[in-house]
Structure formats: structure tokens, C-alpha cells
Amino acid sequence: MRKVIVIVRNVWKYYSISGKMVAVLKNVNMYMYRGEIVCIHGPSGAGKTTLLKILAGLERPDQGEVIVDGYNLTLLDDDDLASLRANVISYIPQDYGLIDDLTVYENIEIPLMIIGLEDEERRSRIVSLLEYMGLRGRENAKVKLLSGGEKQRVAIARALAVTPSLLLADELTANLDWENAKKVLEMILRISKDFETSIVMVSHDPRVLEYAHRKYVIYDGVLKEVS
């Protein structure tokens, strides 16, 4: 039987814009199974990133509940949410979420340091990840010197370092040309298969939808599943 890893139930989120409360997510409902790739497509300002941040525990919904891998995020405090991000949920923001002044190795090392892995174990895990992502030989390169495609692969490697159950990727392909974007998306398919990681991608590019097992469209805060 397939295990449901994400349940989003009746989620509403409001932001105060010029003193007025504006609903950016309106009664959002969704679910996903373990190992599934879900793509949420929509225009800029539709609420994609807000939904992704709520799934990552970086923001809280004003109404409704979010359950990830059995944990009800709405009931957890900030430290518990941080623990969840350290072990269960990985988030890749649109700007890669890397530190330009550190090397590839040091960037991937950060989440492993947070979960308290020893030096030796960190090294072996990073080496195998670099191999897997095709970044062997680039470990000592500063991130600011990498191309967009390489940066994206490092960002994915950082997110995969703790082997999360859920990987959330915000506009993975937005900063890449389509050739590089295809390579990254094929890598995402491979990761989902090899690691059994559930992946949520949000994108304004409709071509990304082809790479998802299930598709959602969000428009003006309203989420709908499409076939």
C-alpha cells in the first residue's frame, strides 16, 4: 500500500498588504505519496512559494493543517520544525540557498554538521553525493565561480545530504536555459527513484509539468489538481 507523506487540509494564509489582509492561499487541499514527484504550476504571485514555505515549516498557515511524514506541522513549535527540516524536509529556494564565499564541499557539509555527524562520516557522505551529482573534482571550487547548472546541482546535493523524505524545490529551472533545466529535471527523476524521496517542485514554466507524476495548478491562491 502506498504511504501518504503529505496532507494539506483547508489551508488559508493571509498577508497584510498596506494594512489590508489579503488571502494568498485560499482553502488549499493536496496530498502526495512517498516517492512521488508533484509539480505545482502557476504564475508569479499565485502563492506557490508561500505554499512551499508552509510545507517546509518556514511559515505557518493561518487556518488548516499540514501533515508531513506523520508530523502535524501546525502543532509543532519552532525548534521542532527546525528538527524536522534537519532530518525529514529539505528546501531549495529559488536563489539556490548556497553561500557564495564557501566551497562546494563546505556548503554540502552544513546540514550534516547540524545533525551532528562526525568528520569521517561527513566526508564519506559528501564524496558519494558529489559523485552522484557529477560534481567530483569541483569540491574545492567556490560556489560563486560555478555556472547556474552547477550551482543548482550543489543546491540539490545540499538538500539531499541528510536523505530527506520530502524535497521541496522552488523554481528549480528558473535561472537555467532549457538544456540545463532538462538535465536538472532528469536528475530529479533519478533522485526520486534512487532515494525514494518525495519531491514537490513549483514552477511557472509549464514544461516542468511533464516531469511530474501528479500536477497541480495554482492561480490567485486557489490550488487545483490537473490531469
Partner 1 sequence: MTKSIKLSITGKGMIYVCLYVIASSIYISIFVKLLVFLNMIILSFFAIIASILSDRKTLYQYISVLIFSGAKKKTILFCTRTYILIRVIPIFLAYTTLFIYFNFYLITIITGLTYVFFVLYLSYPIYKAIKK
Cα–Cα dist 166/13, whole Å = 22
Task: Using the minimum distance from each CB to partner 1, give the nearer residue, 6 or 56.
Answer: 56
Q: What is the dihedral of CA 117, 77, 35, 9, to 10 degrees?
A: 180
With CB under 8 A as the contact rule, the residue among 3, 10, 45, 100 that binds partner 1 is: 100
33: phi then psi, degrees, rounded to nearest 5: -95, 160
From the CB of 45, what's the least distance to partner 1, in Å? 19
Residue 86 found at the interface with partner 1 (CB under 8 A): yes
Q: Which of the ranges 62-70, 84-92, 128-136, 182-190 carries the binding residues for partner 1, by CB under 8 A?
A: 84-92
Q: Which of the ranges 23-31, 43-51, 75-83, 197-205 carries the binding residues for partner 1, by CB under 8 A?
A: 75-83
Task: Give exposure, 74-84, as e/b (b: 16+ Cβ within 10 Å).
Answer: bebeeeebebb
How far, CA to CA in Å, does 39 sit from each of 140, 215, 218? 33, 5, 10
The answer to whether residues 219 and 190 touch, using CB atoms and an 8 Å cutoff, is no
From the CB of 172, what's the least distance to partner 1, in Å? 15
With CB under 8 A as the contact rule, the residue among 39, 46, 84, 130 that binds partner 1 is: 84
Q: Which of the ranges 93-101, 145-153, 182-190, 199-207 carries the binding residues for partner 1, by CB under 8 A?
A: 93-101
Residue 58 found at the interface with partner 1 (CB under 8 A): yes
Closest CA to 146 of 161, 130, 132: 130
With CB under 8 A as the contact rule, the residue among 22, 75, 110, 145 that binds partner 1 is: 110
User: What number of helices (H) and strands (E) belong to the chain?
Assistant: 6, 10
With CB under 8 A as the contact rule, the residue among 37, 52, 55, 56 that binds partner 1 is: 56
Cα–Cα dist 7/200, whole Å = 13
Residue 115 found at the interface with partner 1 (CB under 8 A): yes
Residue 87 found at the interface with partner 1 (CB under 8 A): yes
- Note the residues at the interface with partner 1 (CB under 8 A): 56, 58, 78-79, 82-87, 90-91, 93, 97-102, 106-107, 110-111, 113-115, 158, 162
